[in-house]
């Protein structure tokens, strides 16, 4: 099978397996998704998924939600942070959904963004994931900074560990102005479990300072300016460009690097070469979704450790012959 045929097969197979890149927040309908996304502000998806079953057991629709008091909602969602604001928002939006929308979550950006505590990012997730209406959930500039810092922290560290540490850091500083009020040493102590804390803490402080001084407090929107920031490399810049701004990019992590080699689409010499090969072989319009699909596939079917070739359908079909011959 030549590379063109391999690429077409991979795209088709990944689209079958992951037609929608999974939303990491557990939900069953537009209303529960709306509440879950609202709760995810300044909170990890893992924590939200621990709290929503408790809340939804009492109220998983707007009619039952307004039977609870704001105080009751607040007590349940307290572990997610910002509970005074979020509880009022959940109660208020539930009331409006009943009074103005006959109990149904509205299907337009205009009406969604009129709801208490619902911003454009939350509305975009609901429009995209609940209603299948094309939208790219782009967070506010604050989220862009937290995404930038989270990706920076993920170097030599698992996503799980990063997601344990970022809520602690972002509770103290989730924007560049608050970040530079902390000392490098304070940042270092918080992020120590993520590894490389001396370099990362200096990077976080330094990039926050530059974002204020050179970019009016906003995360810059070009590869050139992102890669000028301390501790920000091309992969980090690519994730931010793709996920925060919706600009086509193909961030190559260890999973993508591994699979591109296993599939015989790159020689494995470097992540730089892997990125060049991925961009050359895959259509640009598919990059932002496809790189996530490959990561999900790699984690589930083609891991670095504990790899079972029988589960790896793509590898069995189009994998590098030198690897397959050793395994089969």
Domain count, the chain: 3
Domain end, chosen from 100, 130, 160, is at 130
To 5 degrees, how large is the angle CA 36–CA 170–CA 256? 75
- pLDDT number for residue 22: 59
CATH number of the domain that 297 lies in? 1.10.1670.10
- pLDDT number for residue 328: 67
Both 276 and 207 in one domain: the answer is no
Domain end, chosen from 110, 130, 150, is at 130
- pLDDT number for residue 139: 43
Q: Looking at 74, 86, 139, 200, which residue is catalytic?
A: 139
CATH number of the domain that 157 lies in? 1.10.340.30
Both 150 and 234 in one domain: the answer is yes
DSSP per position, 256-314: HHHHHHHTTSS-SS-HHHHHHHHHHHS-GGGHHHHHHHHHHHHHHHS-SSS--GGG-HH
Domain-located, residue 172: yes
- pLDDT number for residue 138: 43
* Residue 139 appears among annotated catalytic residues: yes
* Residue 316 appears among annotated catalytic residues: no
- pLDDT number for residue 23: 57
Both 93 and 111 in one domain: the answer is yes
Residue pair 170/42 in contact by the 8 Å Cβ criterion: yes
Domain-located, residue 14: no
Domain-located, residue 78: yes
Both 197 and 216 in one domain: the answer is yes
Write out the residue range of the structural domain in which residue 181 sits.
141-243
Report residue 191 as tokens.
């992020």
Domain-located, residue 86: yes
Q: Looking at 6, 74, 86, 121, which residue is catalytic?
A: 121
Domain-located, residue 160: yes
Digits of tens for pLDDT over the chain (328 positions)? 899 999 999 999 999 998 877 556 788 889 999 999 889 877 877 889 999 999 999 999 999 999 999 999 999 999 998 899 899 999 999 999 999 999 999 999 889 989 998 876 688 778 877 887 765 444 444 467 888 999 999 988 888 899 899 989 988 998 899 999 999 999 999 999 999 999 999 999 999 999 999 988 888 889 999 999 999 999 899 988 888 777 889 999 899 999 999 999 999 999 999 999 999 999 999 998 899 899 999 999 999 999 999 999 999 999 999 999 887 6
Both 200 and 266 in one domain: the answer is no
Both 321 and 267 in one domain: the answer is yes
Distance, in Å, from the CA atom of 40 to the CA atom of 50, rounded to the nearest integer, reads 12
DSSP per position, 135-184: ------HHHHHHHHHHHHHTTTS-HHHHHHHHHHHHHH-SSHHHHTTS-H
Both 163 and 239 in one domain: the answer is yes
Domain-located, residue 11: no
Both 37 and 117 in one domain: the answer is yes
Single pTM value for the model: 0.60
Domain-located, residue 23: no
Domain-located, residue 79: yes
Domain end, chosen from 66, 99, 130, is at 130
Distance, in Å, from the CA atom of 47 to the CA atom of 49, rounded to the nearest integer, reads 5
């Amino acid at each position: 099978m030549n590379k063109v045929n391999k690429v077409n097969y991979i795209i088709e197979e990944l689209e079958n397996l992951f037609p929608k890149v999974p939303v990491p927040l557990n939900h069953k309908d537009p209303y529960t998704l709306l509440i879950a996304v609202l709760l995810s502000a300044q909170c990890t998806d893992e924590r939200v998924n621990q709290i929503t079953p408790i809340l939804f057991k009492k109220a998983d629709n707007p009619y039952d939600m307004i039977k609870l008091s704001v105080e009751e909602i607040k007590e349940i969602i307290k572990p997610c942070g910002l509970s005074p604001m979020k509880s009022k928002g959940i109660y208020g939006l539930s009331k409006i959904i009943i009074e103005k929308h006959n109990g149904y979550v509205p299907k337009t950006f205009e009406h969604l963004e009129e709801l208490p505590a619902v911003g454009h990012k939350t509305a975009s997730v609901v429009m995209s994931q609940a209603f299948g209406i094309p939208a790219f959930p782009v967070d506010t500039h604050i989220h862009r900074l937290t995404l930038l810092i989270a990706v920076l922290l993920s170097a030599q560290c698992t996503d799980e560990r990063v997601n344990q540490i970022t809520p602690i850091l972002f509770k103290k500083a989730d924007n560049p102005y608050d970040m530079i009020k902390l000392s490098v040493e304070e940042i270092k102590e918080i992020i120590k479990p993520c590894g490389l804390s001396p370099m990362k803490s200096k990077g976080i402080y330094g990039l926050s300072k530059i974002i204020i001084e050179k970019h009016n407090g906003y995360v810059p929107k070009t590869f050139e300016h992102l890669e000028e920031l301390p501790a920000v490399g091309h992969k980090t810049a690519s994730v931010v460009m793709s996920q925060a701004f919706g600009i086509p990019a193909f961030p190559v992590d260890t999973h993508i690097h591994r699979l591109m080699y296993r599939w015989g689409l790159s020689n494995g010499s470097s992540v730089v070469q892997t990125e060049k090969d991925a961009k050359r072989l895959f259509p640009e319009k598919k990059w932002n979704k496809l790189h996530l699909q490959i990561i999900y596939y790699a984690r589930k079917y083609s891991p670095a450790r504990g790899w079972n070739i029988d589960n790896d359908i793509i590898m069995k079909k189009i994998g590098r012959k030198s690897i397959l011959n050793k395994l089969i």
